[in-house]
């Protein structure tokens, strides 16, 4: 096993493909064989951990995230309707639906989903078992419980109005503690790694996991000044989208793409450019949402310039995927994980481009504070997040369950509906923002002090956004259906048996000549 040649960068050497003749045998037949094979490996390598059960944390968190995927996508559709028809959803309102939607999407779906992906990828890239897999799984489930409590609290009108989540401090605190568990799991696993090389995926995953609690803490500090509260809202929104949705999603795709096509990553240098640009954009891009606010001008200018780093990161990552996949695009383009990763990467370019444009003062004169930014938020969450979730889940589920993806047709439908639904929603929310900003500017110019003080809305554009929001919900439900049916009734298929080795000390073994 270990004598076989390896592929540098993103083809982990610690997985074995166990061939299954015909690929049509039921799982009940395959699993005992897998266990026997694991036992054989354990005996031949004298690896005390070879027979252990891996991936339980990844499975638990994936199930949790699918539950919240449904909740958040339904809530998002209702939220979009409430923008166009404010009275329709009375007594609740957009003001309550928005934080409830994004709390369920961020903390209920995207954080557990990408954590599940991290827990799946980590042992495969380090050759070491996940550190305290039991705690990792329980921490994820506890996060789901606290998030559910937070949803109820915000729905009852007890939110603090800070950030997109609006959770009060006594909900923020346990969430912050629970976000520290993955930090310990990831860092301790990496410390015990058996691989000397640190793959590109790990840069993104370990940085995202470590910086999420930092961003959450800074972005939810209570009792700041008015401008401080507005700044932390924009800071956290920007940091979460860049660092977690784009960053973690890209990191998982850096594993998924090379694995799917059995080719090494095209360029480590390009990945390095993308990684550091992403960190810059996550830290500095927040004030771009607050251009022309009472924040100092230099802060907004720096944000506008460094917001371009997000676009650089997205372009570098997308180009890297394209270069990597180009070698075998002809025969692997139908793989659902590859398609989802590729379209997800294209979505990151669009989202990063919109954020960069909106951060420039001249554009912010029109777009500032309008539904344009709602479109950006929606596209990042339900476009990038959904596609990257699909990418890693389609690649991992066969190994987690021994079953092939239930339906490639459903996978393609999810991608198409996401392009149409999420793209359409973002487009029309952006148009509505443009109409609103342009109308307000025009009215002020022509009427002076007599200009209307109400917002001139484009009901047509908002109505279209609500319609496409329903399509986006359909897309997420399609993804949910495909993933669930993969687990329950997918065809038995090849399964990768993960074998890891518990290192006695910390850190990788020394290289030749360094003993």
Partner 1 sequence: MSDLLAAAAAALGSPEAMVKRSAEARAKASGMTVDEVLAAWSEGATITAPPPRDAEIPVAVAAIPAAAPPPLQVETVTALPGPAVAEAPISPSPPPARPPAPITTRPPVLVGRTDRPFRTLTAATGLFLVGSLLGFVAPVLLDASGEVRSSRIAFTTQAQTGRTVYEGQGCAACHTQMVRPVVADASLGPVSLSDSNLVLGINRIGPDLAHVGSRLDQVKLEGLLGTKSPDHPRAGGLAADDLAALVAYLVESK
Binders of partner 1 among 448-467, rule CB under 8 A? 448-455, 457
Among the listed residues 51, 264, 353, 463, the single contact to partner 1 using CB under 8 A: 264
Q: Does 2 bind partner 1 (CB under 8 A)?
A: yes
Q: From CA 447, how far away is CA 475, in angstroms rounded?
A: 45
Least distance in angstroms from the C-beta of 358 to partner 1: 12
Q: With left for phi above 0 and alpha for psi between -120 and 50, is residue 265 left, alpha or beta?
A: beta
Which is closer to partner 1, CB of 137 or CB of 359? 359
Among the listed residues 109, 240, 373, 378, the single contact to partner 1 using CB under 8 A: 373
Least distance in angstroms from the C-beta of 1 to partner 1: 7
Among the listed residues 24, 157, 223, 330, the single contact to partner 1 using CB under 8 A: 157
Q: Which residues, 52 to 81, sit near partner 1 by CB under 8 A?
A: none
Rg for the chain (alpha carbons), in Å? 23
Q: Which residues contact 437 (CB under 8 A, 6 or more apart)?
A: 365, 366, 367, 368, 370, 372
Q: Which residues, 106 to 145, sit near partner 1 by CB under 8 A?
A: 127
Q: Which residues contact 208 (CB under 8 A, 6 or more apart)?
A: 114, 243, 244, 247, 248, 251
Q: Whose structure tokens read 């890209």?
A: 250
Among the listed residues 35, 86, 134, 170, the single contact to partner 1 using CB under 8 A: 86
Least distance in angstroms from the C-beta of 487 to partner 1: 30
Among the listed residues 48, 145, 333, 460, the single contact to partner 1 using CB under 8 A: 48
Among the listed residues 116, 248, 303, 325, the single contact to partner 1 using CB under 8 A: 303
The kind and range of the H/E element at 495 are: strand 495-498
Among the listed residues 293, 301, 407, 408, the single contact to partner 1 using CB under 8 A: 293
Which is closer to partner 1, CB of 84 or CB of 403? 84
Nearest alpha-carbon partner for 415 in 322, 479, 473, 490:
479
Among the listed residues 36, 447, 460, 488, the single contact to partner 1 using CB under 8 A: 447
Is 400 within 8 Å of 58 (Cβ atoms)? yes
Q: From CA 164, how far away is CA 220, in angstroms rounded?
A: 10
Q: Which residues, 315 to 344, sit near partner 1 by CB under 8 A?
A: none
Q: Which residues contact 162 (CB under 8 A, 6 or more apart)?
A: 219, 220, 222, 229, 232, 233
Q: Does 304 bind partner 1 (CB under 8 A)?
A: no
Is 246 within 8 Å of 314 (Cβ atoms)? yes
Which is closer to partner 1, CB of 115 or CB of 440? 440
Q: Which residues, 198 to 257, sit near partner 1 by CB under 8 A?
A: 198, 202-203, 206-207, 210-211, 214-215, 218, 224-235, 239
Q: How many residues bind partner 1 (CB under 8 A)?
A: 122
Q: From CA 59, how far away is CA 483, in angstroms rounded?
A: 12
The kind and range of the H/E element at 348 are: helix 336-358
Q: Does 296 bind partner 1 (CB under 8 A)?
A: yes
Which is closer to partner 1, CB of 235 or CB of 406? 235
Sign of CA dihedral 422, 428, 432, 434: positive
CA distances (Å), origin 267, targets 195, 272, 324, 337, 395: 20, 9, 8, 20, 22
Which is closer to partner 1, CB of 13 or CB of 123? 13
Least distance in angstroms from the C-beta of 477 to partner 1: 25
Other CB atoms within 10 A of residue 90 CB: 9
Q: From CA 112, how far away is CA 209, in angstroms rounded?
A: 11
Among the listed residues 370, 381, 386, 486, the single contact to partner 1 using CB under 8 A: 370
Least distance in angstroms from the C-beta of 393 to partner 1: 25
Which is closer to partner 1, CB of 234 or CB of 401? 234
Q: Whose structure tokens read 């897998």?
A: 34
**Binding pattern for the stretch 7-36 against partner 1, x by CB under 8 A and - elsewhere:** xx----x-----------------------
Helix (H, G, I), strand (E, B) or coil at 498: strand
Q: Which residues, 376 to 435, sit near partner 1 by CB under 8 A?
A: none
Q: Which range of residues in 173-181, 364-372, 405-413, 483-491 is near partner 1 by CB under 8 A? A: 364-372
Q: Which residues, 158 to 197, sit near partner 1 by CB under 8 A?
A: 158-162, 166, 187, 190, 194-197
Q: Does 47 bind partner 1 (CB under 8 A)?
A: yes
* Total count of residues recorded for the chain: 515
Q: From CA 288, how far away is CA 303, in angstroms rounded?
A: 5
Q: From CA 30, how far away is CA 32, in angstroms rounded?
A: 6
């Amino acid at each position: 096993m270990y004598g076989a040649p390896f592929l540098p960068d993103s083809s982990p050497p610690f997985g074995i493909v166990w061939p299954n003749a015909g690929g049509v045998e039921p799982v009940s037949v395959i699993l005992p064989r897998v266990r026997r094979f694991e036992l054989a490996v354990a005996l031949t390598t004298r690896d005390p951990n070879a027979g252990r059960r891996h991936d339980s944390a990844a499975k638990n968190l994936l199930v949790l995230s699918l539950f919240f995927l449904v909740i958040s996508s339904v809530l998002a559709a209702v939220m979009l309707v409430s923008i166009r028809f404010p009275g329709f959803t009375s007594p609740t309102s957009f003001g309550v639906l928005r934080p409830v939607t994004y709390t369920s999407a961020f903390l209920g779906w995207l954080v557990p989903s990408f954590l599940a992906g991290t827990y799946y990828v980590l042992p495969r890239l380090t050759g070491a078992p996940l550190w305290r897999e039991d705690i990792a799984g329980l921490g994820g489930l506890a996060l789901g419980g606290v998030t559910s409590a937070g949803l109820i609290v915000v729905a009852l009108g007890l939110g603090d109005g800070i950030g997109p989540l609006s959770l009060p401090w006594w909900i923020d605190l346990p969430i912050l503690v629970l976000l520290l568990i993955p930090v310990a799991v990831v860092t301790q696993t990496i410390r015990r790694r058996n691989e000397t090389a640190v793959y590109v995926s790990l840069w993104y995953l370990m940085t995202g996991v470590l910086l999420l609690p930092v961003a959450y803490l800074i972005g939810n500090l209570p009792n700041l000044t008015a401008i401080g509260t507005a700044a932390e809202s924009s800071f956290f929104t920007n940091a979460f989208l860049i660092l977690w949705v784009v960053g973690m999603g890209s990191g998982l795709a850096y594993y998924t793409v090379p694995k799917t096509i059995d080719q090494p990553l095209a360029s480590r240098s390009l990945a390095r450019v993308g990684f550091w640009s992403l960190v810059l954009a996550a830290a500095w891009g927040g004030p771009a949402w607050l251009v022309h606010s009472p924040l100092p001008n230099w802060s907004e200018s720096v944000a506008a310039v460094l917001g371009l780093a997000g676009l650089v990161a997205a372009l570098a990552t997308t180009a890297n995927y394209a270069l990597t996949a180009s070698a075998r695009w002809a025969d692997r383009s139908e793989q659902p994980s590859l398609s989802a990763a590729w379209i997800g990467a294209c979505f990151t370019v669009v989202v990063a481009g919109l954020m960069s444009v909106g951060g420039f003062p001249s554009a912010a004169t029109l777009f500032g504070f309008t539904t344009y930014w709602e479109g950006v938020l929606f596209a990042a969450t339900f476009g990038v997040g959904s596609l990257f979730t699909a990418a890693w889940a389609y690649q991992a589920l066969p190994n987690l369950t021994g079953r092939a993806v239930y339906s490639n047709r459903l996978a393609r439908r999810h991608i198409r509906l996401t392009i149409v639904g999420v793209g359409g929603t973002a487009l029309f929310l952006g148009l509505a923002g443009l109409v609103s900003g342009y109308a307000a500017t025009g009215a002020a110019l022509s009427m002076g002090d007599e200009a209307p003080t109400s917002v001139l809305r484009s009901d047509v554009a908002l109505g279209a956004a609500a319609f496409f929001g329903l399509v986006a919900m359909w897309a997420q439900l399609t993804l949910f259906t495909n993933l669930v049916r993969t687990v329950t009734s997918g065809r038995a298929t090849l399964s990768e048996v993960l074998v890891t080795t518990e290192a006695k000390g910390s850190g990788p073994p020394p290289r030749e000549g360094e003993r």
